[in-house]
Chain A
């Protein structure tokens, strides 16, 4: 029996002394504890944000499909039902393209939150640290701005959980608190980002431009004008002389784009696989409704650069560099998120609203854009066409109409038309006119929150009509 007692003691010692043997350590991958310690870690964490942009829903395929087809600028004739329902406004909460937009932007928010949470305690060059944090806040602000505009009441997540015990369910936040957070983040970016930055990285004016857009779409014209003027008065930006060179520069920077998703030979985008006609290597499924193009001057430079016609169908060739990428398909053309033409047109509308009628500054801003649309740079010779006379003598209503008309063609398939229609409260009429078989209704002013998220949050309320 004694030996039995010894054995039991031996076993107990074994059990308690075995703790080391029973610990696991992953030597093939890094874990949160191993990372976020050096300045290189900080850069790598920040780079994660850029890696996620142009992925599916964050300015990738799902983004331009949702934004383009849900407005009146896109028709779809292909086979995929989740894309077809975007075009005819019958989409529901289980639409996978809409879900991709939601999940991709939240992925951007997650990695931004990681930077904002982890980088402050890293020992690194303090000037660079400020810029790193500011860039993360820029993207977080951008993502929440997009999400709020598309889905209205979204959860305002500002933490980055790394383990099961750190996760929790969030309530929905209302528009005011989300926009408040966007303002906080973007204002921080305005003050902390440098005035000029490497191509593809945001600078202080980019943050200011986004603020202007947010207030503009919110119909807060005084604030929007203030931020727009900050960009205009900086004289850092100007319109390119030919709209063609704006979208066909493969690697060169230009003076008009304030912030864009950069593409290059090493990082090709595939927007043209959708938009181009089959003869140029695209799917041929995405066209512009013919009614969209009424009331435009046929010599408008934008029409010939942005569109091509084949068999009475109009395809978008905006992002296609005919000279350097003649066989279509993938492209190195950048996808602009905000550019100077947008600032000018927003500024003009702000002036119109504040003064209840166009002012001289308003006219000069919109006429700059119109003047550019007359110009074509062919064989290094700038041709100025005798079209699109400068606007003058309009009143409040006709000026608003004129601006919307300019925005309609200027920002074709840049993901801005849908928000413009929503702001103008003209979504239903415009979509019905362009696409007679579509069934838009009041619910389409917001996209449905993906059903998978709704099921995880019983206390959330879905947008009306879904």
Chain B
């Protein structure tokens, strides 16, 4: 018998996972993980679960993923699902990025996914209602391996590979940039600066210097599984070393994960799991919405300068930088200081360590043959230290020393759920009842220090005492919650099942008020009910419906209090302290409640084909919004529950799993349509969207619009004749070669009232397809995923296409520059507001289809194995992000600048680029 080292999952999971009622309906769970090199647990969700949209915000090693199950249920609160790891629920967060450069490492990335036995996405309301006040955005159940069914096995795996970028924009080289500067000068009526632009040759290629051609990645794992009659144990030890494709960035991770399960006698069973993990990462300044980072710096920095030039000055005809105020200094003309990206990556860097200790245990005791007691306890500690340094080299015109920062954050999460379960059987009818309580607390402490003005650059963040000015900060964030619940499940003749869930939840975040969250579900086994008695070819079919209320608590703590901020300032020469309320109390704030209704069915055919179809409709009736306030109330906005958001859609899955002779083949396809709309926005439309490069309010939350609607100007075309009767943004006469915007309200002026909805950042359609084939010892796996119907705001174009001469631009932009001789060009020679306008040209179609994972492996034949006395050897080659089909012009359509902040998805600006990964590895089973 072949031994294939594949993590197998059953299609129809009727497994009894602790903490959840037996569900007879199918949650699509299967995922032949095979030898895909998953580094982060969220990668297990990509492309396999209908309706689950997974995006990786940043390509930095360890960065977090943003998950949406059945659309975004919240815009101003968190819309991420709840993670339940071995029964312990928590909301995932990434490292607080105030203290580090670049995007922070995700705390979930500390868990090595190769130890995960099973991942489930719960999206039906009856399943998520078990999690009450936190289940509204879906639940991701993760269970790690416990070694059951394997008397003894040990295997060692390793892979090594390299990552590289794909699709970098082509910028002008040295000669091209000089010619471009001459053209800009000519447009302003000046003489050309450079007599012979091509003399500069290629100049400095900053992108090539910034990115590594082949960033190395290595991974080593040891797995151990032991079991006997009543006890099983599984352990994983692993080490990952991943260099980032941006030089001077990378991640190292050390893991120890173990789980023990035991059933000493008929009445008692318990299991316990532990994760001990540590990651150490180096990061550089990327994903900066103000445009100071290395990625945007590489776009802007003049190719005529060299690596010793820190500031972006223009050079004269002899190639010498023109420092100071004489002449046209690029640095003075641009609206912010652009630094040499290579120097920035070397001298503005962060080092961050995260240690995570996670422990969970459950115990189940049968008091009588009908009554059982069950309890689950978990503790999760995350200890995070961030060190950052900004070298004085980067501030050559000031004589200040460097800036060092050190922040320590500890978060501690504990959880207990206990309940009694009672089961009564009457003939073929079964009644199960459960009653219990749940209690959880989370605590986050932060201590940070910053010191400026070091005399000697050797002393950095480990010597904060030696700086000239020091600032310290600390904060505490605590939240506690409590819930009581009762479940009733009545199963009639294994045919009909009615499930009633009653839950009441309270959280300290919302004043301790109890909220009632019930749900009701109905499931019918069509075969057993005799509906499909004629159709023998169908081996199983279900019809189900459910309705209920679930809640969401993802909003910052303490919003029910006002907040006074202290600041120190000078009145003349006297130092004074002042206290001002920066936030007024949202004293009536409640948790978000989602009313959801599902209706669906699934079936299994005898030859291994299965499918499911489901309709859902969930309405968040009191969605968090940042309601704009009149200015006389002292604050610009207030968090209230006045929004209503609705997501409705259809999910379909289909799959095939069969063995034809020696050929094993399975296929899984899923597709989901989602329509997410704002039903009510409170009092007036809300413009939001954190400022990117000085552009604010690029999203709108308004009744009838899609979630994540992009707000900007529509373009009519280019102005070809000066002085035409065209409305302009600055009220002046329109100049030739500028963009003419559509005057929506025809008042003769282009202003903010002429903005319209240009698209939406949330997709209408998500789909995935995966297949796994094995034959003759070879196995091949492919995973495709894609989205359609979403738009991305490509803010990079404001830099790459800005023909005002203050920085480098892309080759394509230079060719498309409008001029009297090139009237076909569609890029304007001058733009108001320095080009920082959100208009149609920035909004691009973000649909894509991607071959996300590819792997081919070979298992050595038994004959060879017996000679070496090992159980199995598997060699594999695998690739991630192999190719992407998309019309999007940016680097990667799967992008979001602000990581998983629900509000700000869909912006692309200077993010750490994603990478392709090719690796080769092997597994030895002993």
Contact = CB atoms under 8 A, between A and B. Distances in A.
A90 B422 contact: no
Contacts of A14: 437, 482, 484
Interface stretch (A153-161, A295-303, A305-313): A153-161
B494 interface: no
Interface in B517-574: 557-558, 560-567, 569-574
B473 to A, nearest CB: 9
Given A84-B832, A85-B730, A106 B579 contact: no
Interface stretch (A15-23, A210-218, A314-322): A15-23
A19 B564 contact: no
B732 A88 contact: yes
A109 interface: yes
Given A14-B437, A22-B512, A84 B730 contact: yes
B634 A94 contact: no
Contact of A92 (B574, B630, B751): B751
Contact of A11 (B437, B478, B480, B629): B437
A30 interface: yes
B721 interface: no
A47 B422 contact: no
A453 B683 CA distance: 12
Contact of B729 (A15, A50, A81, A103): A81
B571 A200 contact: yes
A281 B558 contact: no
B509 A24 contact: yes
Contact of B325 (A90, A264, A278): A278
A267 interface: yes
Given A4-B422, A32-B564, A163-B587, A456 B628 contact: yes
Contacts of A24: 478-480, 508-509, 511, 557-558, 560
B863 interface: no
Given A84-B832, A163-B584, A170-B630, A47 B577 contact: yes
B577 A167 contact: no
B684 A81 contact: no
A91 to B, nearest CB: 7
A455 B482 contact: no
A278 to B, nearest CB: 7
A233 interface: no
B580 interface: yes
Interface string B676-716: 00000001110000000000000000000000000000000
A9 B429 CA distance: 29
A-side interface size class:
35 or more
B587 A164 contact: yes
A374 to B, nearest CB: 31
A394 interface: no
B588 interface: yes
Given A47-B577, A84-B731, A31 B563 contact: yes
B652 to A, nearest CB: 42
A427 interface: no
A457 B477 CA distance: 36
B554 to A, nearest CB: 16
B468 to A, nearest CB: 16
Nearest to B583: A29
Contacts of B751: 85, 92, 94-95
Given A262-B571, A264-B573, A266-B570, A23 B584 contact: no
B435 interface: yes
Given A44-B578, A48-B579, A164 B325 contact: no
B581 A114 contact: yes
B398 interface: no
Nearest to A158: B632
Contact of B579 (A19, A27, A41, A80): A41
A396 interface: no
Interface in B811-865: 831-834
Contacts of B565: 29
26 contacts: A7-B420, A23-B511, A26-B561, A28-B475, A28-B477, A29-B563, A30-B563, A41-B579, A44-B577, A47-B577, A48-B579, A80-B832, A81-B730, A103-B631, A106-B631, A161-B584, A161-B634, A162-B562, A163-B586, A164-B638, A166-B584, A169-B630, A262-B571, A278-B325, A437-B732, A456-B628
Interface of A: 3-4, 7-8, 11, 14-15, 18-19, 21-24, 26-32, 35, 41, 44-45, 47-48, 50-52, 79-82, 84-85, 88-95, 102-103, 106-107, 109-111, 114, 155, 157, 160-167, 169-170, 198-201, 251, 262-267, 278-279, 281, 437, 439, 451-453, 455-457
